[in-house]
Amino acid sequence: MLNTTIPTSRRSFLGIMGASLGAAALRGHTVKASDTVHFTHGVASGDPLQDRVILWSRVIPGSGEAKNLKVAWQVASDDNFSAIVSEGSATAAVSRDHIVKVDADGLKPGTIYYYRFICDGVTSPAGRTRSLPADGTKHARMAVISCSNYPQGYFNVYRELANRDVEVVLHLGDYIYEYATGIYSNDAAVAKGRAVTPKNECLALEDYRERYGLYRSDPDLQAAHAAHPFICVWDDHEIANNSWKDGAENHNAGEGSYAERKKAAIRAYHEWLPVRETTTGQTIIRRSFNYGGLASLIMLDTRIEGRDAQLSYETDLPYRTLPFDMRDASKPKALLSAEAMQDVPPDAIRDIPVPFDLRGEKPQPMTDLAEIKKLDPKKLPSGFSYLPDGEKFRSDILGDKTRTILGKEQEDWITAELQVSKDAGVPWQVFGQQLLIGKVPMPYLRDEDLDFSDPAYISKERFKAAQMIAQLQLPFNLDFWDGYPACRTRIFESIKVHANNAVFLAGDTHNAWAFNLADEDGNAVAVEFGTPSISSPGLETYIPAQPATVKTALKKTSPELQYIDSEHRGWLELDLTPERATSTWYFVSTVLEQEYTVTEGQTVETRAGSHRLN
């Protein structure tokens, strides 16, 4: 744990820091001015292999002088460090935000180790890590987490994980959030000291470094990192909300170059997390791990490597049209039947969106184009509305076979990884990735099920639009794999040919899920387990209905959905044997208090060869 005593000489120390490193270099750490150096954010380990693991810490000079520091590291088989098994030295460089990262080798498979750093006579806190097991292992247990949002509440989930009997922690992204003060935060949490720094939205390298420093100053996060090795992938908020390869929803031209912002965010990510790097500033986060011959852990990037831009119902959903005969442009004539169109040259026919009269039993289109042009589309007469063309959207736009959430290079890489795993006789192919791949159509809720009295809920107008999407049986969220169905189909085809038993793990949604995954013909392909968030709010904040009602509505629209908890924060634990894969969810009672209880949720399993949940 970090020293939290603030000595009387701290003011003079910060004065020295301001002259060189700058007070921001503390990154939320409180200092002891007598120390020659400061390990500011604890220790961490990650990306374990059978013979090595990444070790991480951060150390700054106590003098405040901006200089590189030589740091010794040690790995021992005991917590007293009397049996050193690997050691060496590395540099905490100013150019790397004073981070020290080493790839400690010489380890034995499936073994618990302890590690620490030493610099200028000062020793860091000790951490505990574990190498991946040797081939032939018969059991694995890993925790799966995502979406740790500092101003939404305490990191109670991290505190629990520090004491769980798991071998590795998979973090599926949204390790930080990029928003400015007051955006996507909980006032009650902020009032208890969970305010973000910097106050502005993260755009530049220094912004992202400072935000990581804030998160990594949290004692519960430090405890989880010190207790277990992490395997991490980014989601969108490590850069900006709803990122894709060339942009993001939360980025605009006034914020500068998105490419430069992405570059800065990725650099800070690699500095501050214990992930193995192959090239400086690398943009490729996908990688795979051999988990003792029991599982191939295939970590994906569904965000920025190759993803095409997300579709939007507001801009991409076409409206139903009516064909008009435009041979006499002064008197366009509506063509109301196939027979009426037969005698009109094709180049004289123009499809035009028209309002529909909804006051009768069936919608009736307006046919007077001159009258239509007089109308304000946003202020149509009562009972009239433009109607979305769900079929055209589903077939021509959503169904575009060229769209991908992965990029062709990653799609091909996945097929190759699956083939290698199958040929080696590995029972399980586990995908650690960001977004739900299970099909989730928009749920339909009755007016009597809804309650808009809580101002946190979305407006009636937006929810009314969502219910129209539900009636068209279109996806709940186009940011999910549902927005890229052709890519999903290609991955499912690869799984059917090149995998033994596939399990998808997903974060992002802040809720707990379990799906049976099927192809377009209904054939079983794989299963999916979604983890709830560490602190970010879930569907209970966005859908103004009781959780039980939401659960029923979602399961009614999605035959694949087998389990959902839409109201609690927590994590899941995946237990693997050659015969079965089992997921159990755990929930904390609150993230707004540091006193809480833990509840064990549902346990579900899939047996090898079934490709379905029992």
- CA 547-552-556 angle, to 5 degrees, is 145
Share of the chain above pLDDT 90, in %: 85
In whole angstroms, what is the distance from residue 532 CA to residue 391 CA? 33
What domains can be seen in the chain, in order of their start residue?
Answer: 1-131 (2.60.40.380), 320-387 (no CATH), 397-607 (3.60.21.70)
In whole angstroms, what is the distance from residue 101 CA to residue 375 CA? 64
Which tokens go with 527? Answer: 């299963």
Grade residue 349 by pLDDT with cuts at 50, 70 and 90. Answer: very high
Residues 3-50: pLDDT tens digits?
333 333 333 333 434 445 665 677 876 665 667 999 999 999 999 999
- Dihedral sign for Cα atoms in the order 231, 41, 121, 271: positive
CB count in 10 Å sphere of residue 81: 16
Arithmetic mean of pLDDT over the chain: 93
**Pairing relation of β-strands 69-76 and 37-46?**
unpaired
> How large is the average pLDDT for residues 324-331?
94
Grade residue 282 by pLDDT with cuts at 50, 70 and 90. Answer: confident
Q: Per-residue DSSP letters for 85-144?
A: EEEEEEEE-GGGTTEEEEEE--PPTT-EEEEEEEETTEEPPPEEEEPPPPTT---EEEEE
In whole angstroms, what is the distance from residue 452 CA to residue 75 CA? 56
Strand partners, 143: 169, 573
Strand partners, 581: 576, 606
Residues 168-219: pLDDT tens digits?
999 999 999 999 999 999 999 999 999 999 999 999 999 999 999 999 999 9
- HEC string for 3-37: CCCCCCCHHHHHHHHHHCCCHHHHCCCCCCCCCCE
Q: Per-residue DSSP letters for 345-383?
A: -GGGEEEEE--EE-SSSS-EE---HHHHHHS-TTSPPTT
DSSP 8-state code for residue 475: B
Q: Is 492 exposed, middle or buried (0-12, 13-18, 19+ CB in 10 A)?
A: buried
pLDDT at 14: 39
**CA 571 from chain center: how many Å?**
14
In whole angstroms, what is the distance from residue 394 CA to residue 300 CA? 26
Decide if pLDDT at 2 tops 60: no
Residue 466 backbone phi and psi in degrees, to 5: -65, -35
pLDDT at 280: 57
pLDDT at 281: 61
